Amino acid sequence: MSALLNFLNGDSIWIYAFIFFGKILEVAIATLRIVLISRGERTVGSFVAIAEVTIWLFVTGTVLTGFQTDLMKVVVFVVAFAIGNFIGSWLEEKIALGLSQIQIIVHDKESCRELTNVLRAKGFGVTTMEVHGMDDTRYMLLVIMKRKLVKEALALIDKTASNALVTIGDVEAKGGHIPNIKSRIFPLNDRFSPTK
């Protein structure tokens, strides 16, 4: 432990690398923790917080030790913080935890039927309804899916009904059935499976 403390209080070139990569890792982990907790994964988020705060303590302590005489530590810390935010948001997008809902409004019943068939053929659950706009009847499709599948669904929508109005939002679901919702990483305890 004394060797680690000597390193952290030292002034070798490696201390800047430690600050830089440690801060990037800490901020990326912080972003992941926030996403986990906001998606209802409180237990996993709490364990991630332990790693986050441990890294934060060592990195921040290293910067605060003698930063008045070595401003480069502060510069490295600040730059790494910015890069960590970028990497954290990129990582969150790649992991894409949670559910999204796509609402699609098409002008005619045939477009609705065709798009419904295309989406269902690819395993998406689709609910359709007749809706009324200002001047005419329209048809709306509701599709709830894992966030990871949104790009795939949008490609199918663009290919099949390019003039459709499409909105996307994050949602939480309670009950009912959503196809392909089980996750190997964060199981949802069958709460989205059809009742037997």
The Cα 104–Cα 115 span in angstroms is 10
Give the model's pLDDT for residue 51: 94
Same domain, 8 and 91: yes
Give the model's pLDDT for residue 166: 95
Of 95, 115, 130, which one is at a domain's C-terminal end? 95
Give the model's pLDDT for residue 127: 93
Is 186 a member of any domain?
Answer: no
Of 79, 95, 111, which one is at a domain's C-terminal end? 95
The Cα 34–Cα 48 span in angstroms is 10
Same domain, 56 and 121: no
Is 44 a member of any domain?
Answer: yes
| 64-93 average pLDDT score | 88
Q: Where are the beta strands (DSSP E) in the chain?
A: 99-106, 127-132, 137-146, 165-171
CATH number, domain of 142, equals 3.30.70.120
Is 179 a member of any domain?
Answer: no
The Cα 162–Cα 89 span in angstroms is 29
**Pair 64, 87: CB distance under 8 Å:** no
Same domain, 22 and 84: yes
Collapse the DSSP code of 131 into the 3-class scheme (helix H, G, I; strand E, B; otherwise coil) and give the result: strand
For the cut 80, the answer to whether the pLDDT of residue 102 exceeds it is yes
For the cut 90, the answer to whether the pLDDT of residue 2 exceeds it is no
Is 84 a member of any domain?
Answer: yes
Of 95, 111, 144, which one is at a domain's C-terminal end? 95
Same domain, 44 and 108: no
For the cut 60, the answer to whether the pLDDT of residue 187 exceeds it is no
Same domain, 140 and 76: no
| 113-117 average pLDDT score | 95
Give the model's pLDDT for residue 188: 46
Whose tokens are 């912080």? That residue is 30
How many domains does the chain divide into? 2
Min mean pLDDT across 7-16, 111-120, 150-159, 161-170 is at 7-16
Is 71 a member of any domain?
Answer: yes
Same domain, 91 and 142: no
- Domain extent at residue 143: 99-171
**Mean pLDDT rounded to a whole number for the chain:** 84
Tens digits of residue pLDDT in 37-73: 887 788 988 999 999 999 999 899 888 887 778 888 8
Is 119 a member of any domain?
Answer: yes
Same domain, 18 and 86: yes
Tens digits of residue pLDDT in 8-36: 666 678 889 999 999 999 999 999 899 88
**Pair 70, 138: CB distance under 8 Å:** no
Give the model's pLDDT for residue 194: 44
For the cut 60, the answer to whether the pLDDT of residue 191 exceeds it is no
